[in-house]
């Protein structure tokens, strides 16, 4: 129908008016058709624990600045409490009898009705008078005598909170389930349409089917639903609000406004995908070496693990004692598979599936399939040999590479792609900054294997060898991973693309753009060819120490800038809150 489908978080109230949060800015909303229960619609005025509503919505309604098609409170007509009074209401309001009677219902708040219910518990179903009661229907015929006594006490204590309905025999229909036909209880929900001049019944309806034979028909209890069609011998009305196939549609390329929640989800989809890849690459490098590492190599693996900056690691916190190889293995298994750990690979892939599911209608079928495959790619059992973990990481990285290829080749270059790409570049820049800081502290001879690990994690080993063969040196590694603008795994590449992508966003902030441009300028100001790096066995030298220290301070500043820049992006485009000025310096 062309209407915007939103959740409560997509809307905001400003000056007693309701707005839709979009990437292009706030768009005023005039009419809302709600599907959220009354009490959940506004946490300020109604249920304070609601996460589904819009704070201030009631105030905007009272001010007359927004119309809610099904007004707050209209749910009363759907409660069982109103059913005993429908015949009288019909006669009073329309002067006619009900054309279709309801199931016999008694509201226990009336003395006569309460006494009748207490005397006929075997033939009624007791339900809460209002949905907020949170009570399951109670079938009186199924209760033991002692339980009937307890139910009667509850009814007498608070009679106005309960209704009782006649227990009727539901219709049965054959249902195909689990490869065979079964008898299931069914109900038919029919619909009437207000045409403006009257009401007309719509042929067909919605059939709801119970989960198992003899059970209550309820979607909350595993029931199913299907459309009901009515066969007709004569021609039927073919009116539709869809565009006729026989008329050409006007061509257009502009896309509708992107809701902030969608942009938020694709941004974090990009970040989680990249976070999973960076984590998997680090873990693969460590799991393939930890069991055969000598003392020096083991120390390098601990430094590589430090690049993850995990606050939930399982390594012992004892000072002056280096973890053992077995303790590091336990930590790596936890880092791979512990779903309770927010920085684990399994948890990150679960987040990929969560946010990917939120925007699945904007992803291709192949990408949705890949998201599901990624979630299932980490399967570790207690008997899984540790030697199989590197192969498992490689399989996971293959799926992540497939997703990256589809992101580059299959997604339209709209705002959604921009936010996803920004998320990926931002996350990769954060990981690279941590890894590069490990080199800015002069390496000793025992730390030299760390260079090989960093090149492998950044998938830049072949690039390095094509230039320097097998001679490993810190400045050459820094040049490949930090300053080479042609290397898609370098820090320069990430920051340059962040500037380019952010510049394409509508309403981008000049201050944030300048902050990222300044970071690129400072990064390129380092002339690595003139920086003297102390090499093992070459004697001590202080030349270039200041430049190395300056580079280390820049990377630390960048580590602070990138999350702050991300927060400003979120405030500007997702939550529409005030942003704070950020800068980077030395």
Binned at pLDDT 50, 70 and 90, residue 211 comes out as: confident
CATH code for position 59: 3.40.50.11290
User: What range defines the domain where residue 127 resides?
Assistant: 79-166
Predicted local confidence at residue 168, as pLDDT: 86
Boundary (domain end) residue, out of 21, 54, 75: 75
Q: What is the pLDDT of residues 349-402, one digit of tens each?
A: 999 999 999 999 889 899 999 999 998 898 877 788 999 999 999 999 999 999
**Residues 306 and 215 both lie in one domain:** no
**Residues 346 and 434 both lie in one domain:** yes
Predicted local confidence at residue 16, as pLDDT: 97
Boundary (domain end) residue, out of 75, 97, 123: 75
Asked if residue 221 is part of any domain, the answer here is yes
Q: Average pLDDT, whole number, for the chain?
A: 91
Predicted local confidence at residue 551, as pLDDT: 93
Asked if residue 253 is part of any domain, the answer here is no
Residue matched to tokens 């270059």: 413
Among the listed ranges 237-251, 288-302, 501-515, which one has the minimum average pLDDT value? Answer: 237-251
Q: What's the domain count of the chain?
A: 4
Predicted local confidence at residue 538, as pLDDT: 64
Looking at per-residue pLDDT, the higher value among 537 and 323 belongs to 323
Looking at per-residue pLDDT, the higher value among 382 and 515 belongs to 515
**Residues 354 and 473 both lie in one domain:** yes
**Residues 98 and 212 both lie in one domain:** no
**How, if at all, do strands 67-68 and 31-32 pair?**
parallel
Average pLDDT over residues 293-298: 94
**Residues 154 and 197 both lie in one domain:** no
**Residues 68 and 108 both lie in one domain:** no
**Residues 144 and 267 both lie in one domain:** no
**Which residues pair with residue 124 across a beta bridge?**
166
Predicted local confidence at residue 109, as pLDDT: 94
**Residues 373 and 416 both lie in one domain:** yes
| Cβ neighbours of residue 423 closer than 8 Å, sequence gap 6 or more | 266, 267, 268, 269, 270, 271, 274
Buried b / exposed e over 536-558, threshold 16 CB at 10 Å, is: eeeeeeeebeebbebbeebbebb
Predicted local confidence at residue 543, as pLDDT: 55
Highest mean pLDDT among 121-130, 203-212, 234-243, 457-466: 457-466
Q: What is the DSSP string of 536-556?
A: TTS----TTHHHHHHHHHHHH
Q: What is the pLDDT of residues 183-198, one digit of tens each?
A: 999 999 999 888 889 8
Asked if residue 250 is part of any domain, the answer here is no
Average pLDDT over residues 300-322: 90
- Residue 186 dihedral angles phi and psi, to the nearest 5°: -135, 150
Nearest to 100 by CA among 38, 37, 190: 190
Asked if residue 139 is part of any domain, the answer here is yes
**Residues 110 and 29 both lie in one domain:** no
Q: What is the pLDDT of residues 456-481, one digit of tens each?
A: 999 999 999 999 998 999 999 999 99
Boundary (domain end) residue, out of 206, 228, 250: 228
Asked if residue 584 is part of any domain, the answer here is no
């Amino acid at each position: 129908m062309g209407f915007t489908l939103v959740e409560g978080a997509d809307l905001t109230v400003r000056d007693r008016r309701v707005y839709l949060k979009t990437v292009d800015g706030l768009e005023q909303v005039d009419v809302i058709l709600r599907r959220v229960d009354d009490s959940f619609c506004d946490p300020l005025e109604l249920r304070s624990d609601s996460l589904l509503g819009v704070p201030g919505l009631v105030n905007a309604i009272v001010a007359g600045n927004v119309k809610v098609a099904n007004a707050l409170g209209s749910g009363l007509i759907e409660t069982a409490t109103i059913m005993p009074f429908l015949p009288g209401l019909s006669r009073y309001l329309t002067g006619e009898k009900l054309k279709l009677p309801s199931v016999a219902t008694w509201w226990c708040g009336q003395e006569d009705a309460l006494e009748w219910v207490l005397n006929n518990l075997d033939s009624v179903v007791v339900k809460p008078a209002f949905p907020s009661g949170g009570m399951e229907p109670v079938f009186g015929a199924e209760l033991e005598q002692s339980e009937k006594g307890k139910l009667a006490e509850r009814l007498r204590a608070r009679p106005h909170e309960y209704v009782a309905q006649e227990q009727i025999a539901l219709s049965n229909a054959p249902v195909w389930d689990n490869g065979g036909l079964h008898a299931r209880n069914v109900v038919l929900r029919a619909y009437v349409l207000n045409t403006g001049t009257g009401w007309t019944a719509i042929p067909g309806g919605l059939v709801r089917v119970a989960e198992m034979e003899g059970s209550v028909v309820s979607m909350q209890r595993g029931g199913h639903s299907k459309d009901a069609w009515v066969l007709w011998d004569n021609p039927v009305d073919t009116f539709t609000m869809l565009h006729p196939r026989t008329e050409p549609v006007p061509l257009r390329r502009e896309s509708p406004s992107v809701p902030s929640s969608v942009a938020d989800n694709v941004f974090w989809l990009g970040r989680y995908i990249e976070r999973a890849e960076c984590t998997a690459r680090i873990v693969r490098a460590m799991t393939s070496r930890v069991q055969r590492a000598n003392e020096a190599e083991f120390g390098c693996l601990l430094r590589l693990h430090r690049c993850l900056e995990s606050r939930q690691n399982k390594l012992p916190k004892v000072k002056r004692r280096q973890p053992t190889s077995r303790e590091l293995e336990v930590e790596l298994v936890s880092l791979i598979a512990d779903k309770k750990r927010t920085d684990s690979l399994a948890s990150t892939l679960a987040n990929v599936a969560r946010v990917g599911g939120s925007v699945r209608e904007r992803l291709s079928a192949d990408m949705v399939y890949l998201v599901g495959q990624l979630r299932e790619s980490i399967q570790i059992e207690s008997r899984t040999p540790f030697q199989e973990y590197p192969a498992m990481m490689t399989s996971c990285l293959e799926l992540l590479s497939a997703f990256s290829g589809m992101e580059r080749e299959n997604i339209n270059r709209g705002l959604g792609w921009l936010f996803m790409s920004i998320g990926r570049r931002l996350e990769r820049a954060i990981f690279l900054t941590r890894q590069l800081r490990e080199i800015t502290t002069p390496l000793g001879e025992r730390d030299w294997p760390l260079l090989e690990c960093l090149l492998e994690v950044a998938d830049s080993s072949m690039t390095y060898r094509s230039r320097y063969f097998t001679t490993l040196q810190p400045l050459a590694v820094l040049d490949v991973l930090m300053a080479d603008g042609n290397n898609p795994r370098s820090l320069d590449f990430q920051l340059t693309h962040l500037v380019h992508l952010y510049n394409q966003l509508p309403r981008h902030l000049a201050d944030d753009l300048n902050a990222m441009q300044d970071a690129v300028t400072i990064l390129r100001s380092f002339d690595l060819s003139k920086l003297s790096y102390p090499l093992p066995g070459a004697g001590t030298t202080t030349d270039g120490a200041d430049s190395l220290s300056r580079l280390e301070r820049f990377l630390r500043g960048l580590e602070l800038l990138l999350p702050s820049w991300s927060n400003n992006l979120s405030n500007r485009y997702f939550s529409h809150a005030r942003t704070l000025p950020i800068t980077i310096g030395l």
